[in-house]
Structures are given as structure tokens and as C-alpha cells.
Structure 1
């Protein structure tokens, strides 16, 4: 019996082509997608900018100078100044931290809650699965951004509460995706073989099922990060995210809306930054999806 099942367990091991591991093949496929490489490069640039903000910021982002109110871009202030004389470039650089932090923390929170719930729901099935999915369907019936705004308003205005609200709002997506993948993978022969030789359920979940559903979760995490950045900017624009005087691209747009005719640069730069970062994450996510799925190559 064991001899018959052993080949099935071996089938769970990743296949290799030309002696390369699957992750090496995925990297090669990803490298051939120029749009994904460009997107990844832009994301790395923003990450470096956020990490090196104290070193590369030309001015204190909260320092005011009422002699330099709404000055256009110049050699001293490359991106101009805002309504109270603060350097726009400095606030842009420091605001990168809020956007990236929101993307990282909220998506991590959504995955830490959604993936285990989806794993258990899809694997156990029965009444537990029915109850969980009805709750998830109810949450998904509410538009993502509306749910995030409602939760942020309930929790109170702050960047931390905004990240929690975004994470909770994105959690149902990961539950549904994980459950769907588990329902597919748990019917595979190597999972049935692992169950037949007496492996405990937690070992089957962690060793045989979870590793085989990681690729779609990684792709979803990348795309969810882009959505989280837009959500954080929206909440900050509404006054529910990063609070003044700390800089945030969304709060900068909120201030700039009152000076669009007199100082358009106040809105142009944060708007372009949000556009560039979100587009880059989506390009990288699309390329990652193709690289991790050989059928799309």
C-alpha cells in the first residue's frame, strides 16, 4: 500500500525544467516581461525613497515659512511650496512612508486573518464553510472603499486605524481566494495520498496544500497593495487617515483642492505619485501572475 502511494507523494514536489528550480523559472519568465520589470523598478525606487527620507529630504516636511507661501517650483524648492510655505518635495518624500506602510500593514493584516480562515473553511467544509462564506458574502456585498470609510470613521481618524480598516475590508477577498484554491488542491492525488498514509490534518494543510496555493496569494497581495494605497489616500483626503501636520499624499491633495488655480503644483505632484506607484504595482502584479502560471507564458 505504502509503495503504491509513494509516487503520488513525490508528485507533490515541484517539477524542474532544464535543471532549474520553479522559482528560478518564474524569475526568468518575470524578467522577460519588460512592463513588470519597469513596475518593479518604480516600486523599489519608492521603497528606497521612503527608507532614506531623512537623508534625501531637502527640508523639514513640517517646517513653515510664511515668506514662501505658494511659491512655484524653483531651484530652492523643486516642487514648489504649499499654502503655509512648506516644501512640497520634502512632504512628498515623507508622505511615501505613509502610503507604503498602509499597503504593507493592511495587506499583511488581511492575509494573516483571511488565509487561515479560507484554509480551514475550504478544507473542513460542511456547516463551518457555509457560515463563513455567508459572512464573507455579506462583507463583499459592501463596496471595498465604502466599508473602509465606515470602519475608519467608527475607529477614529489616524493612520493606524485607517490601516486596520483597510485590512479588515480586504480580508474577505483573501478568504474567498484561499478557499477556492483549497477546494481545488485538496482533490489532488498527492493530498489524497497524504491523507491515506495517516498524516494529521494540520500537516496536510501546512505541508501539502498551503505551499501549492501561495502563487495566486502573492499575486493578489501585490494587487491588493495597490488598492490599499488608493484607499489610504482616500481616507487621508477625507481626514480619516494620516493627521496633520504629518504628510500624506491624500491629505496633500485635500489641501491642494482649495488652491488649484493659484498653485496647481500642490495637487500635481502627489497625484502623479499615487498614479505612478499604483500603476507600477499593478504592472508588477500582472507580470508576477504570468510568471507564476506557466500556462500564461
Structure 2
């Protein structure tokens, strides 16, 4: 018999299959995570969703109590409260995803500016900058920023992104330090590899593998912050769960479901994102994160 060596394509497919099997837990969790995203964004966007139109005082309000057709009841103008809550939650998730992504990118950029510096104290200024950011609680900073600036997404998203960057920059610095102290990195230095080759080829990939876990953990936190700001009226004139709860309190006696059900809906969604994010972070071995607020 003639012994045939497996083709290069077959070997590559085998390695890919082995790698996918090793990442099966992470892949399942990520699929569930994005399925929740898809469900939130699959709702009906038809109709006027301005808070003033949905909750404006009318001579003949058209609200309906929760029934078989409307699980969570309706708003003042008769719009289904469940679909409105899903649309509002999708908006909060969008803001959180953009803010956390921008914050992680900014933190990585700040870290990469000094990571190639051979000095031991190269991360000192980043750590000092982050230390100044924890003097005041993050939520107080956001209230002052958005309230003083008149509110709106143009303040909420950059503010949340800046807080995320300040909080996780020292964490990235620590990961780079730990990666550079590994045995294989010491061996690479002995073999004559440059610092740039070591950082880009060995240390950076291990740091990037943990970032999805950071993202999954921080998104629910940013969602809560966005809903809190919108409840206070600092997130602009758009539909949000915080706005729905705040506007629904005006009808707490006649139609209590307008304030109660959006809050319950948001609690369930945030809890689902938190549990999935915790499992994704554990599967990727991200480790503990510093408090954001």
C-alpha cells in the first residue's frame, strides 16, 4: 500500500475543527448573546414613538389594561406597551454597545501608545490618569456632564466611552505586563526577537482574546447607566425605558402598568445580558474587572 500524506487543506480543516470544538462553550454563549440582540431589534418600529406623543395628556386617553392581545397593556395613545418596551430597550442596548466598544478601543489605543516603550514605568501616566477618574463616582460625573450640557446622545455616548476607557486602561496595562513576564516571552528575547515582534506576535493576541469578555460584562452596566440618565431626563427626547418609567408615573393611579411593566421588562433583559456576559467572561478567563460606577 502507498502511504499518502493528508493534504494541506485537510490538515487545515482538521485544525479548524479542533479549535472550534475547544471554543464550543464560548461559541454557544456568543450565539445566545447575539440571539438576544436580534430579538430586541426584531420588533415593530411603525408609528410615532416620541415620548410626548405616547404619554401626552389627552381628553380621551386610549389606553387599555393588560389582556390577551396586549400582554403589558397600552400607552396613552393606544400603542402596545410590550413592543414599545422592546423598541426602547433596543435603543438602550444600541447606546451601550456603541459606548462600550468606543471605550474599549480608546483604552487599547492609549495602552498601545506606550507599550513599545522599554522603560519600566511606561504605564505610569495611564494609571495616574485612571486614578483621577475614580475620585468621583462615574454616575455623578455622567449626571454633571449630561445635565450641564443639556443632555442628548452626543454627551451620553462619549461620556460613557470615556469612563469605560479610564476604568479598563490599567487592566490592559496589567495584562501587557503579565504577558511580557511569561516564560516564552523571555525565551523569545533570548532568541533575539525585537520588542515590537514580541508584543505584536505574542502578547497582543492574548490581550485581544480577553476583550470580548470585557465587552460582554460592561454592556449591561452601560445599559443601566443609560436608562438611569434617561429617567432623569438627561439622555435627550427619545424613547427609552427610563423615559417610559418616568412618564408612566404620571398615570400611576389610573394606569399603573405604564410605569411597572417597562421596568420589569428592562430588569429581565438586563439580567439576561448580565448572566450571558458573566458566562462569556468566565469562558474566556477575562478575570475580575474594576467597578465602572
Q: TM-score, length-normalised on structure 2?
A: 0.78
1:63-212 equivalences in 2 (<5 Å): 66=58, 67-74=60-67, 77-121=70-114, 124=117, 125-212=119-206
Pick from 27, 31, 47 the counterpart of residue 24 of structure 2.
27
From the superposition, tell whether residues 41 and 189 of structure 1 become closer, same or farther in structure 2 (CA, over 3 Å). Answer: closer
**Residue in 2 aligned with 1:247?**
239
Output the CA distance in 2 between the equivalents of 1:119 and 1:182: 10
Output the CA distance in 1 between the equivalents of 2:286 and 2:248: 46
Q: Secondary structure at the match of 1:206?
A: helix
Output the CA distance in 2 between the equivalents of 1:20 and 1:196: 32
2:63 and 2:75 in contact (8 A); partners too? yes
Output the CA distance in 2 between the equivalents of 1:237 and 1:294: 32
Matched, 1:61 2:49: yes
1:290, CA displacement in angstroms? 2.8
Output the CA distance in 2 between the equivalents of 1:226 and 1:232: 10
1:122 and 1:180 in contact (8 A); partners too? no
From the superposition, tell whether residues 171 and 188 of structure 1 become closer, same or farther in structure 2 (CA, over 3 Å). Answer: same
From the superposition, tell whether residues 215 and 261 of structure 1 become closer, same or farther in structure 2 (CA, over 3 Å). Answer: farther
**Residue in 2 aligned with 1:6?**
none
Pick from 205, 210, 214 the counterpart of residue 220 of structure 1.
214
From the superposition, tell whether residues 99 and 29 of structure 1 become closer, same or farther in structure 2 (CA, over 3 Å). Answer: closer
**Residue in 2 aligned with 1:47?**
38
**Residue in 2 aligned with 1:263?**
255
Output the CA distance in 2 between the equivalents of 1:270 and 1:43: 22
2:33 and 2:276 in contact (8 A); partners too? no
1:68 and 1:81 in contact (8 A); partners too? no
Q: Secondary structure at the match of 2:72?
A: coil
1:88 and 1:266 in contact (8 A); partners too? yes
**Residues 102-138 of structure 1: CA deviation (Å, up to 9, x unaligned):** 1210101111111232345566454542222111011
Unaligned runs of 5+ in 2: 1-13, 288-293
2:217 and 2:281 in contact (8 A); partners too? no
TM-align CA RMSD:
3.2
Pick from 272, 276, 281 the counterpart of residue 280 of structure 1.
272
1:107 and 1:167 in contact (8 A); partners too? yes
From the superposition, tell whether residues 170 and 42 of structure 1 become closer, same or farther in structure 2 (CA, over 3 Å). Answer: closer
Bigger relative contact order (CA 8 A; separation at least 6): 1
Unaligned runs of 5+ in 1: 1-15
Aligned residues: 268
